[in-house]
Each structure stands twice: as structure tokens, then as C-alpha cells.
Structure 1
Amino acid sequence: MDFPKPVSSATTVSPPTQPSAIESAKRAAAQLAVKEHFNPGAHYVGIGSGSTIVYVVEAIQELKDPRIQNIHFVPTGYQSRQVILRAGLKDLKFDSLPADTLIEVAFDGADEIDDDLNCIKGGGACLYQEKLVATRASKFICVADHRKLQPRLLTNWPTIPIEVEPLAVTTVISALKRLGSSAPFVREGHIQKAGPIKTDQDNFIIDAPFPSLLLYTDIEQAAKQGVKELKGQGEDGQWEVQALAKEIKALEGVLSVGLFVGENGLQAKAKGKIAGGQKPVAAYFGMEDGSVAVRVTQDDGTVVLRK
């Protein structure tokens, strides 16, 4: 994975006078997501990590509703907490949430999102706290640009981020290779000689490449066509996304897997659970032409693309 080169302290970097097309796309997606899902009268709102979330907070500020000052914004790590504080908003650590209380809505980005709203997250190394907030939210709303909109995970994004306790790195890498990852590696920091990056939990990140991940509907379709050999359990390197997430999470030393799969918050609520879900209920993508495409879960659980 490529990282930006460090900027010398003697170098002055001026911001671009005009926003790039990608940044404009992110802003458009964030504004529509906030318009459709943010309630100024909410008590708790999750704020994720990454560049797109800056535009979510900007859109919230632009509402100029005085009730926003009463909201507790729950960050997914150090970086997102700084975004909240710089905006003059009130932050609340995740472990300070009252028991059995859900975050009304959580906004976060993703590295890639598939047709069923499964996500890869962890490019910014905040996946553990991002998953904590997502699974404590009534609804998780994903905001991204068009590059993240893909039919299957690991189409463009090359690896699955995995947070691992440092002592277990060698063991986990060996296990990932047995699961079919071609060359898992420990993520290095911006300056390689400084060693591996550390998460907010003081762990390492392993980036594990796999072939594109299947949906469960791919398995069902193959069975209907008489291809019963395709089970998505690693045969010939082919994994169904939920099956692989479960296998990796079960490895000793793994704290969190950057695959956000399974139920969303609305599905969990329908089952009477006092918990959210890993998957977003909707994902907003800023497109190249200035429009915003929305991939949303319908009442029957199917996902449609709205534009």
C-alpha cells in the first residue's frame, strides 16, 4: 500500500485554490447523507475516520441549528475526535455511553463497498473503534466517492486490514496464508525506518490480499446453475465475504477484521436486539458528474442503487 511522502518542516504547502473533483464528490455525498439522516435533536451521533467525514461535520455545522450543541458526538479514534473538537462540537468517548443506549446514527467512510453493502474499512487503521461505533448505532450511514462503489469487495482495494496484537503477528500471517492470502504483510508507517504503524490500541495492522470476495447470492446462483462445488469456503481461493470474516476473526491474536458484514442496525432492531449492525443501512457515493448515487437497503433486505 502506498503512503504519502512526509513533508519537510521547511516546506510550506498551500491548499489548492479549487477543490478537486474527488473532494467535490465527497462533499456532495456528505451533504445529502446529512440532509437525509441527521437529526439536530439527536442525543448521540457517531463520527468516523477519514477524509470524507470532514465534509459530514462541515454539513452538520452548516445547518446552524442551536440544538447541535447539545449532541454528544462519539468519535472512532484520535483523528475523528480532533475533527469534532475543531468544529466546536461536544465529544463523548465510546466507553462513556450509557448502558443499553444506542447511537442514533453513525456516519463513516469506507475503502470499498459491494452490492450488498458489505464494506472494507481500516485503510486509516481505525477499524476496531469504527466497528465498535457501527455496532452500537441504530443506523450506520456510509459516505464515500465513486471510486469506492464496486460490485464485490477486493475489486480495486487490494487488501483486508486486520488489527493484530504484535506478539501474534507471525502466527496470524501464517494462518492467513493457509486461508489463501497470497502475501499478507505488516503495514509500515510513512517513514519505513520508524517501523510498523500502531493503532490507537497499540496494535499492528496486517494487510491481507485475497481474490475478490463472493456474496452469498453468488453461491446460491452457482447452485441453481448446477455448480455445487462453489461453496465460498476457500476452495480454489474463493471466499464468501461473511465466511472469510468469521475465519479471520477466529484467529488467536486478531482483535478486529476490516470486513463489515452481516446485519445492519435496522435488521438488528427488527429482531429485538439492543445493538446495531456492522453494515451500513445506506451508502452515499459522490459521482464524477456531480450527482450522488445511493445504495440503500429496502424493507425486504434487498439492496438497490438509487440515483
Structure 2
Amino acid sequence: MCDPQIDLFFFFFFFGNSHVLGVGSGSTVVYAVERLAQRVRQEKLNIVCVPTSFQARQLILKHSLTLSDLDRHPELDVAIDGADEVDAMLTLIKGGGGCLTQEKIVAGCAKHFIVIADYRKDSKSLGQQWKKGVPIEVIPMAYVPISRSIMQRFGGEVSLRMAVSKAGPVVTDNSNFILDWKFEQAQNWKEVNFAIKMIPGVVETGLFVGMAEKVYFGMEDGTVKTRDPLII
């Protein structure tokens, strides 16, 4: 991730010195928080950070930034996060790291939701780059009927995400399971997101529809490409 990309983001949003910032999860955000910490020290900025996961919380503490939560700051000025894939409409797939529910909550509380990603996450349509499917957080006792319901209605394949360094399934920060739905074709993602969320036992989906305001893509040559939602 290149510094020009991060600096462009901070120039665009942090024109004052007092903001409440939602901090996303994943490898991309690590660079953003590092740069944020530099700016806070150099410019004496008053930034309060609300994390989307345990990982984000530790990152905030590591860089000696001010940690808060939605109890104390239920309205955020801006939330920044990465994405597993971004399509032409700025519909996102998120949740490869398993933090989708808290990421969506924090993004939903922000006046602006901005995505920072590298060029490999850029797609014309979902599924073009990200092949692991749509993550869905579910209540553990319901993962089998939820899987059956999704496949019967939308096709494709649903699998329970298994842990790598421990026996058994991945367990989220909310003590739930993650299903990964590998869809077969493009969908009306707004309708699909709503329909899946209505299945009893579904906590949240990794489909972020109509939420991202702008995406900053770090290109292979170190330049930055920005994208606004496509208006049709």
C-alpha cells in the first residue's frame, strides 16, 4: 500500500483537527493507521478511534491512538476499511477476515464510509476477482438450515469456514460461525442481501450494498485511482 494513497485520503477528510474515526480490519488498514498515527503526532490532531474488531483495537493501542467505542461515540465522522472485492457500483464483499458484522455496524454509524484497497480488489462485477464467496455470519446452531436455505433459493455452494490453526470452525469476535457462499452468477445484490438477512439465524452478510462513498485503489505502479459509485 503506497503512502500517496493514504495521504490522499487524509487530505480529503482530515481538514480539521478533531474527528471520530471508525477503524476497519485487515492488512490494508494497517498502513492507514500507521500513517494516521504519524499525522496525529506531527500535527497534534485530536482523533478518536472506534475499532471494528479485536485486531483493529490492538492496532489502535499499538500506535497510542485514542480508543473509544459506539457507546461513547455512536456517530462517527468517517469510517475507513478495506474490502475483499469492489464492483463498478461500489458494492463490496467483506468478511474474509471474519469481522463483517462489526465492520458493517461501524460503517453504518459513519457519516462517510471510505474504502482503501489495492488494485487486485477492483472488479467490474462481484466474483470476478474474489473466488471465496460471500461471507455470512450465523448463529452456530442454525448453520445447517441456513446453508440449505441459501442453496435452495440462490444456488451455488455454501461451506462452513474451518479454522487453520485450531480444530473446528472459525469463531467470530461475536462467538458465531462464518459460512462462505460461492454464488454461480451475478445477482441483484440488494435483494439478495435482504433475503439472506431475513433467514432466521443469520446475523449479517458480507455484502455491503450502497454503503461505500468512495474507493481509493493503490495501483501497482504506486499511483492512486479513485472511484465513486456508478450512477445508472
Tell me which interval the TM-score lies in, with the shorter structure as reference length.
over 0.9
1:143-197 Cα shifts (integer Å, max 9, x gaps): 0000101011111212000000000001100001112332200101113x51101
Shift of 1:65: 1.6
Higher strand share: 2
- Measure the CA separation in 2 of the matches of 1:127 and 1:152: 20
Matches for 1:115-194 after TM superposition, within 5 Å: 115-158=88-131, 159-191=133-165, 194=167
Q: 2:204 aligns with which of 231, 244, 256?
A: 256
Matches for 1:92-103 after TM superposition, within 5 Å: 92-98=68-74, 102-103=75-76
| Percent of pairs with identical residues | 40
Q: 1:79 aligns with which of 40, 51, 55?
A: 55
Shift of 1:39: 4.2
Is residue 152–residue 212 contact of structure 1 (8 Å, CA) maintained in 2? no
Structure 2, unaligned runs of 5 or more: none
1:253-294 Cα shifts (integer Å, max 9, x gaps): 0000000013xxxxxxxxxxxxxxxx1110000111211110
- Code of the aligned partner of 2:122: L
From the superposition, tell whether residues 212 and 294 of structure 1 become closer, same or farther in structure 2 (CA, over 3 Å): farther
TM-score by length of 1: 0.71
- Code of the aligned partner of 2:218: G
1:94-124 Cα shifts (integer Å, max 9, x gaps): 23325xxx20011100000010111000001
* RMSD, matched Cα: 1.7
Q: Which deviates further from its counterpart, 156-165 or 58-67?
A: 58-67
Q: Considering only CA atoms, is the larger Rg found in Structure 1 or Structure 2?
A: 1
Pairing 1:243–2:217 present: no
From the superposition, tell whether residues 196 and 40 of structure 1 become closer, same or farther in structure 2 (CA, over 3 Å): farther
Moved over 6 A (4+): none
Structure 1, unaligned runs of 5 or more: 1-23, 214-238, 263-278
- Measure the CA separation in 2 of the matches of 1:162 and 1:246: 12
TM-score by length of 2: 0.93
Shift of 1:205: 0.2
Pairing 1:280–2:212 present: yes
Q: 1:111 aligns with which of 84, 91, 94?
A: 84
Q: Helix, strand or coil for the counterpart of 2:89?
A: coil
From the superposition, tell whether residues 38 and 164 of structure 1 become closer, same or farther in structure 2 (CA, over 3 Å): same
